[in-house]
Amino acid sequence: METEMKRGFQLYRQGDLYYLQSPLLADCSPVVHAFSTRVGGCSEGAMASLNTAFHTGDEYSCVRENRRRFLEPWGFHPDEVVAAVQVHGVKIYQVCAADRGRGARPQSFLGEGDALVTAVPDLPLTGYAADCLLLFFAAPDVPAVALAHSGWRGTLQNMAPAVVADLRLRFGADPAAMLVALSPGICGRCYTVDRTVAQGFIEAGWRGEPYLWAAPTGRFHLNLAAIIEQQLRHAGIRAGHLAGCNWCTSCHPELFYSYRREKGHTGRMMGLIALRGDLLAGEADKS
Ligand SMILES: [Zn+2]
């Protein structure tokens, strides 16, 4: 079994809210995590209905209410949200207690960056995506958690291995103990890129299925999840500690926003990961 990658996120329902969790991470006390869907929110039109990102042009009050609905089951308030301005780079922020709420309002975000790491309990690290993947990391030996955003630019710049290295260097986390789950993201059949983008991946060694292959149109199919999974394996993540991407955001319009499918005018799903302070205390009590 150890050679088999774990199944990825699974869909759950709580009242009107639909969300996803990875059983791999859900089994990891003291980590709390979830990935939102577009179901159960109050936004309308192209943003319908649970858009969680401000930069989409959605109503501020709707985004706040949507975030409230998604965060409530996990015991977090929208005022606590931590987020960076995602720019498809590989900058990683170490989030500290003073950063609580930096991401709760459009003006309060951390600076530009695409990954957050922390060992501080009860800080809700968040990321936003609609086709790009969010990568959920748990380092239970520290404990610490991380959340990264990886589209084609981040993937080509080795975002996933960069987070593994960061958790190791910053906190002494052992990659062999780390758990990683990949959020829903656009699949290789739905996602095509032009020759210039493809060339970058070919030069990085990702030529051929299941990574990159020619489409009849002259464009190229790109399977970001397959590349990220290999990057993580090379970085020392054990196969049994890796939950692959098993949902395509473009193939499931009823559940997910898709930037490509909607030609840019759409909402974003939110990824959440945090260390639960009360569960940390529980762990200490046991020992
Ligand atoms: Zn697809």
Question: What does residue 238 show for φ and ψ, rounded to 5 degrees?
Answer: -70, 145
- For residue 278, report the distance from its CA to the centre of ligand 1, in Å: 39
Asked if pLDDT for residue 286 goes beyond 60, the answer is: no
For 40-70, the pLDDT digits (tens) are 999 999 999 999 999 999 999 999 999 999 9
In a domain, 167, yes or no: yes
Mean pLDDT of 100-106: 97
In a domain, 227, yes or no: yes
In a domain, 200, yes or no: no
Q: Which amino acid is at 23?
A: P
Q: In the prediction, which pLDDT does 282 show? A: 54
Task: Print the domain residue range for 154.
Answer: 10-187+223-281
- For residue 7, report the distance from its CA to the centre of ligand 1, in Å: 17
For 254-264, the pLDDT digits (tens) are 999 999 999 99
In a domain, 192, yes or no: no
- For residue 244, report the distance from its CA to the centre of ligand 1, in Å: 15
In a domain, 104, yes or no: yes
pTM: 0.97
Pair of tokens at residue 235: 């970085």
For 161-170, the pLDDT digits (tens) are 999 999 999 9
Cα distance between residue 135 and residue 118, in whole Å: 14
- For residue 222, report the distance from its CA to the centre of ligand 1, in Å: 11
Instruction: Please give the tally of structural domains in the chain.
Output: 1
Dihedral angle, C-alpha 44, 130, 7, 212, nearest 10 °: 150
For 158-213, the pLDDT digits (tens) are 999 999 999 999 999 999 999 999 999 999 999 999 999 999 999 999 999 999 99
- For residue 133, report the distance from its CA to the centre of ligand 1, in Å: 13
Other Cβ atoms less than 10 A from the Cβ of 10: the count is: 13
Can you state the angle between helices 224-234 and 159-171, rounded to 10 degrees?
Answer: 30
What CATH number is associated with residue 47?
3.60.140.10
In a domain, 173, yes or no: yes
In a domain, 107, yes or no: yes
Q: What residues are paired with 132 via a beta bridge?
A: none
- For residue 94, report the distance from its CA to the centre of ligand 1, in Å: 33
Mean pLDDT of 232-241: 97
- For residue 173, report the distance from its CA to the centre of ligand 1, in Å: 34
Q: In the prediction, which pLDDT does 175 show? A: 98
Q: What percent of the chain has pLDDT over 70?
A: 97
In a domain, 211, yes or no: no
The three-state secondary structure class of 13 is strand
Q: In the prediction, which pLDDT does 283 show? A: 53
